Amino acid sequence: MKDSKNISTRLAHLGSEPISYHGAVNMPVHRASTFVFKTFEEFKDCFNAEYRYGREATPTSRAFERTITGMHNGGYGSLSTSSGLAAIIAVLMSFSKNNSHILVPDNLYGFARGFCDETLTNLGVEIEYYDPMIGADIEKLVKKNTSLIYLESPGSLTYEVQDLPAFVKVAKKHNIITAIDNSWATPINLQPFELDIDISIMSATKYISGHSDAMLGVCTCAKQEHYELVQSTIRQLGNCAGSEELYLALRGLRTLSLRMEQHTKSGLELANWLSTRDEVNKVLHPALPSCKGHEFWKRDFKGASGVFAITLKETDETKIAKMLDSMEIFKMGFSWGGYESLFFPEQPHASRTAKNWDEPGFLMRVHSGLEDIDDLKEDIKRGFARL
């Protein structure tokens, strides 16, 4: 499918090859470890074969990866992994060596932060957290051995939007690789390669698969050399995505643009409504001026998604428990991007080291699912009454 087609058209057809599967529209689940070779000659040339061993690639993984690459404007190729975290780890490992210095935003996805603080630090990589709003001043943190500027925009839990072009400009000047966690916007709402970022990472567990039933990650590289390096890391780590998960994500991709539209619409309506409520201190939604970096969101993003955060004025946890324990629709749990609404009551204070988190109130991540918006508001209204 040509890049000139709009993304919803691309998503309906990319990676699909009905002609190879008796006309069946969907790519089957290939459960494969072994691919057999017809001749000794072919076996000797197996390193050039498209399929060799299930851990490396199957027609299902290739179809998923081609679809993800095709969603991006530009980009050389994509690599699937067993989870979003595994994709982040593969990229971090690929661009850090013993004694290299990498710059990471303070609002980095929590488990990636754990990997930086423990494994990478133990391997002799110098991790430096930066204030996500630092922008062009990131140059002051650049050292001779800086190998990677990692970006996540908006950032986990607190949703600051980064001045991405300012980071890219500094990175280009000093020949440093840039990678972004684009799980929140997906290429539907942010095209990393149009901003000259080198690598785009997504937790496909979230909106891509979209039904809370699969763990999967993916990273897409703008350049062939980076693709080959990350591919080699993933293979050395022995990481691979499960075939069922790849199938589920491919299926999810077919309806992604429609789901994103609805998640965005409900999310915005909830965010606007919540900002009028007395119980709420602040709404941290990139599309609202109350969110740090809102001006960068307006400039760089085509849209939003359904996940954002609020701070509640109430901080008494027994009162908060009264609200949360009896919610009918909003359940509490990890992840987001499924069809169902979720709350995630996690406080960012302990995981900030570059700059203290000093917003008052109790922070809660809100994921707006595909339920009716009036029902969602009613559920929260009743919850606020219990507060």
Ligand X SMILES: *Cc1c(COP(=O)(O)O)cnc(C)c1O
Active-site residue (options: 5, 51, 52, 55): 55
5 has catalytic annotation: no
Please tell me the distance from the alpha carbon of residue 163 to that of residue 299, in angstroms, as a whole number. 9
Nearer to ligand X, 84 or 135 (CB): 84
For the chain, give the number of residues: 387
Residues 215-234 that bind ligand X (CB under 6 A): 215, 217
Does 203 help bind ligand X (rule: CB under 6 A)? yes
Is position 55 annotated as part of the catalytic site? yes
Q: How far is the CB of 8 from ligand X (least distance, A)?
A: 23
The stretch near ligand X (CB under 6 A) out of 72-80, 81-89, 96-104, 140-148 is: 81-89
Taking CB under 6 A as the rule, does residue 58 contact ligand X? no
Strand partners, 283: 310
Minimum CB–partner distance for residue 272 and ligand X (Å) = 23
E-only strand ranges, the chain? 77-81, 101-105, 126-130, 146-152, 177-181, 199-203, 217-221, 280-284, 307-312, 331-332, 342-344, 362-367
> C-beta of 113: minimal distance to ligand X in Å?
11
Q: What is the C-alpha to C-alpha distance for residues 205 and 259, in angstroms, rounded to an integer?
A: 14
Is 206 labeled as catalytic in the residue annotation?
yes
What is the spatial distance between Cα 321 and Cα 345, in angstroms, rounded to a whole number?
10
Residue in 70, 75, 77, 84 binding ligand X, rule: CB under 6 A: 84
Residue of 106, 160, 163, 181 interacting with ligand X (CB under 6 A): 181
Q: In this chain, which of 69, 78, 156, 209 binds ligand X, going by CB under 6 A?
A: 156
Q: Edge to edge, what strands does the sheet with 331-332 contain? A: 280-284, 307-312, 362-367, 342-344, 331-332
Which positions from 297 through 356 interact with ligand X, judged by CB under 6 A?
335
Between 85 and 222, CB nearer to ligand X = 85
- Residue 53 phi/psi, 5-degree rounding, is -150, 140
Could you tell me the two tokens for 33?
A: 């470890």
Marked catalytic residue, from 10, 66, 206, 259 = 206
| Catalytic annotation present for 109 | yes
**Under rule CB under 6 A, how many of the chain's residues touch ligand X?**
13
Q: In the complex, what is the shortest distance from the CB of residue 38 to ligand X, in angstroms, rounded to a whole number?
A: 38
Which stretch in 29-37, 80-88, 141-149, 254-262 sits in contact with ligand X by CB under 6 A? 80-88
> Exposed, middle or buried by CB within 10 Å (0-12, 13-18, 19+), for 47?
exposed
Q: How far is the CB of 124 from ligand X (least distance, A)?
A: 25
Q: Name the 3-class secondary structure at 209.
A: coil
Token pair, residue 20, equals: 């190879």
| Residues numbered 107-146 forming contacts with ligand X, rule: CB under 6 A | 109
CA neighbours closer than 13 Å in the CB half-sphere of residue 147: 16
Selecting among 181, 227, 254, 365, the annotated active-site residue is 181
Question: Residues with catalytic annotation?
Answer: 55, 109, 181, 206
